[in-house]
Amino acid sequence: MTDTHAHDAHAHGDAPGHAHGHGDSAPKHPYHLVDPSPWPIVGATAAGLLAAGGVLFMHGHGAVLMIFGFLAVPLTMAVWWRDVIREATFEGYHNAVVQLGLRYGMALFIASEVMFFSAFFWAFFTSSLYPVGGVWPPKGIHPFDPFAFPFLNTLILLLSGTTVTWAHHSLLEGNQKGLVQGLTVTVLLGLSFTSIQAYEYSHAAFHFTDGIYPSTFFMATGFHGFHVIVGTIFLAVCLWRARRGDFTPTHHFGLEAAAWYWHFVDVVWLFLFVCIYWWGMGSALPLGE
């Protein structure tokens, strides 16, 4: 079956006759048994090289190894997800049962991300509620004004949450133009957030090694910024696929997963803004007062 015919079958809710398996016999289950793939072992090797190179680089060696791993990881991810897109869009393997499994997987991934950020909030609250020297932020640290750039970025992310929802609902209603417009605005807002945060970091009155406040601040907000970059790339790929016509009202898990991820990023930022930027700028009084 050609890609065009397979895509037409998918668009009408049909799947190729062998969609439940790769043999010629009748399928005995609704699951997708993937073909042997080199990407898991390649991805594991690339991640290992990146980790080892990073450790060596911190000790003055291994720059080349780290750069090679840094390039190999996203390249492996790209070709691996290319295969997944091909299986879903052109080969018709992602039936309702497979899509349900993907949704569970994405939900569990986001749950693991919640635990990831919980560790940073734990470190921040432990340090701020029981500060060394009895004052928070520590003496000599001048935190950001929460109602300057941080508040602007809050508005940007809240707006981006509405635009990605606009895109999703446009798709459900069969509005291709609204889908593309909503994703385009969301990607632009994500880029704006990252640009403003980079400017904010470049004008910080403290550095990562200046104590516990800068360490917890940069770890929490920096990893969130990394997630914004990942989410922006995720949505940009969805925009490219939307312009190509990959998504239909009944078959669009890639866009749905991107929207879930983006809403998670929005919620984490709200906690960061309230707890670290606003409350954290003066959450503890000097001892004895």
| pLDDT value for 282 | 66
| pLDDT value for 21 | 46
Identify the CA nearest to 7 among candidates 100, 88, 82: 88
Task: State the pLDDT confidence band at 26, using cuts at 50, 70 and 90.
Answer: low
Task: Report DSSP letters for 200-262, one per residue.
Answer: HHHT-SS-GGG-HHHHHHHHHHHHHHHHHHHHHHHHHHHHHHHHHT--BTTB-HHHHHHHHHH
Q: Is the pLDDT of residue 32 over 90?
A: no
Q: Give CA–CA dist 180/238, Å, rounded.
A: 9
* 30 vs 234 pLDDT, higher one: 234
For the CA atoms of 27, 31, 36, 38, the dihedral, rounded to the nearest 10 degrees, stands at 160
| pLDDT value for 17 | 42
Q: What is the DSSP letter of 285?
A: P
Stated pTM of the model: 0.83
Helix (H/G/I), strand (E/B), else coil: 136:
strand
**What average pLDDT does the structure give for the chain?**
87
The mean per-residue pLDDT over the stretch 244-254 comes to 90
Task: Report DSSP letters for 1-35, one per residue.
Answer: --HHHHHHHHHTT---TTTT-SSSSPPSSS---PP
- Domains of the chain from N-terminus onward: 1-94 (1.10.287.70), 96-289 (1.20.120.80)
| pLDDT value for 289 | 43
Q: Give CA–CA dist 194/215, Å, rounded.
A: 20
Q: Is the pLDDT of residue 190 over 90?
A: yes
For the CA atoms of 159, 164, 169, 175, the dihedral, rounded to the nearest 10 degrees, stands at 110
The β-bridge partners of 251 are 248
